Each structure stands twice: as C-alpha cells, then as structure tokens.
Homo-oligomer: A and B are copies of this chain.
Amino acid sequence: MATEMPLHQRTSLPPGGARRSATCDICRLRAACLPDHMHDSDAARSLMGLIVPGTPQPRGAFLYRQGEPRRAFYLVRSGSAKSFQINENGHEDVMGFHFPTDMIGAASLEHRQYTESVVLLERSTVCEVSATDLEALLRSDASLLHSFFSKLMQSFEAERHARVRLHHASADERVADFLLELSDRFRAIGRAEQSLFLSMSRYDIANYLGLAAETISRALGRLQDAGAIAVKGKSVEILMRSALHKIAERSASA
C-alpha cells in the first residue's frame, strides 16, 4: 500500500472551543476569509454568528470521513488539510489541499453524506458551521446565496483550468505550476510567498498531480538545478519566480 495511514482514527471532531459568536471580529484572517462583498452587511452578521471556532487538532485527525452523514462545513484557521476519496480500486485519490480561509465541505453540498474524507496534515485549527444552520441561512438570504454561487463558480473554473492545463504538461511543468499555486495562495493569506512549507508528503503531491512520488523528487531536483528554487526537505524557497513561471507556462508549445 503506497498511501499513508492516518495517525489518528477518531471519527469526529471533539466539541470544539467555547461557543462564543463574533469570534471572526478578532480573527486576523477575517478579511480574506469571509466573502468580499459582505464585510459589514446583515448577512455577514448572521453568518459570523454561525461560525464556531475549534481547538487545535493534531496531525492525522479527520474532519470527517467519506460516507458519514454531512453535519457541517469547515473553515481552516491555521495549519492545513488534504481531501481525498477512496476509488473503486481501493486507491486514494487526492482531491486537493486546504489552507487558512479555505472552505471545506462545499463539494458535498448536494449530498446527504460526505463525498470525500478530510485529514489534517499538521496541527491545525478549524472553524465549524452547522450544515442545517447554513442551509437555512442560504434559503433566507439571497445575497448570501449569490456569494456562495460566486465562490463555487470560481472553484469550478480553477478545477477546469487545472484539468486542461495539467493534462498536457510535463512533470517539471506540473510541479512548477503546483509551487506557484501554493505561493499565490500563501500570499493571499498574508504568508511569505517565497518560502513554502510543504506540509503534505511527496506521495500526496504526486497523487494530486498524477505523477509518481519519485518523479516529484526528481522534478524538484531539476527545478533546483535550474536555479529556480532551493529544496530542503519539506521547505522550498522560490529563488527565481520568473524562471518558475517560464517553466510552468511552456506546456505544449506547438
């Protein structure tokens, strides 16, 4: 079995922290986390009232497992997570990685059960929103529904882009693209964009990009030889962003 086994096997998240609302007010991620155009509307108030901050959970803890009844949505506050499905061959398919301000669970929106599992990649904190509460709010507030609609459309486009872009790309191109994507996401949440910490394993990256783990190692090595990055274990420094871009973009130059 090539896939890693979770360290912890708990099936659900413990009660979480104190149930005080308006915690978003004191969260430094607030601006990046909540939908853009609802910073001070009534809807923002209502939504923030539903968000329950949790306590830090250890690496390997599951937010939920594929097949469990859908209870809640989550917002990553610190740390990171990966979502994955077990396919018909018993093989793990990594769907994506999640960082602070990312919403988790929307992919299961149209289902009664979670369609994927989500496990923490490091010690992390997540905020929780009850599914029934959120759905009720969405039914009553059209502008909030529109916000969600927008966000989903964005994910849809990103997903589409990833599919066609990476279909034609070589290993080096995919890895360069992956690093740039991470960098962009880190920048968006106020982290250093040139210092990346890869909390996920090479196997996870490989699975996500449709490559073998060994190929990830070699690709990182080649990018390093090219002077674009410096790799030291799970830490990657982006030395020449332009070089990385050039590599990522040169797919299928017919």
Partner of A93, one of B146, B155, B164, B250: B164
Question: Does A115 reach chain B (CB closer than 8 Å)?
Answer: yes
Chain B residue contacts of A154, Cβ below 8 A: 110
Q: Which residue in chain B gives the minimum CB-CB distance to A1? A: B254
Question: A137 CA to B146 CA in the complex, in Å?
Answer: 13
**Are the C-beta atoms of A163 and B157 separated by less than 8 Å?**
no
Chain B residue contacts of A10, Cβ below 8 A: none
Partner of A163, one of B148, B152, B163, B249: B163
Question: A1 CA to B254 CA in the complex, in Å?
Answer: 7
**Are the C-beta atoms of B152 and A159 separated by less than 8 Å?**
no
Interface size, A (range): 35 or more
Number of copies: 2
**Are the C-beta atoms of A85 and B164 separated by less than 8 Å?**
yes
**Are the C-beta atoms of B1 and A94 separated by less than 8 Å?**
no
| Binary B-proximity of A165-194 (CB < 8 A = 1, otherwise 0) | 111100000000000000000000000000
Q: How many Å from the CB of A185 to the closest CB on chain B?
A: 18
Question: Does A222 reach chain B (CB closer than 8 Å)?
Answer: no
Question: A3 CA to B109 CA in the complex, in Å?
Answer: 38
| Binary B-proximity of A86-108 (CB < 8 A = 1, otherwise 0) | 01111101110000000000010
Partner of A153, one of B110, B145, B146: B110
Chain B residue contacts of A93, Cβ below 8 A: 164-165, 168
**Are the C-beta atoms of B152 and A156 separated by less than 8 Å?**
yes
Chain B residue contacts of A148, Cβ below 8 A: 149
Question: Does A45 reach chain B (CB closer than 8 Å)?
Answer: no
Q: How many Å from the CB of A149 to the closest CB on chain B?
A: 6
Question: Does A253 reach chain B (CB closer than 8 Å)?
Answer: yes
Q: How many Å from the CB of A131 to the closest CB on chain B?
A: 14
Chain B residue contacts of A162, Cβ below 8 A: 163
Other 13 A-B pairs with CB < 8 A, given A87-B164, A152-B152, A166-B167? A87-B165, A87-B252, A91-B168, A91-B251, A91-B253, A110-B150, A110-B153, A145-B146, A148-B149, A156-B159, A163-B166, A167-B209, A167-B210
Question: A: which residues have CB within 8 A of B?
Answer: 1-3, 85, 87-91, 93-95, 107, 109-110, 115, 139, 142, 145-146, 148-150, 152-157, 159-160, 162-168, 209-210, 249-254
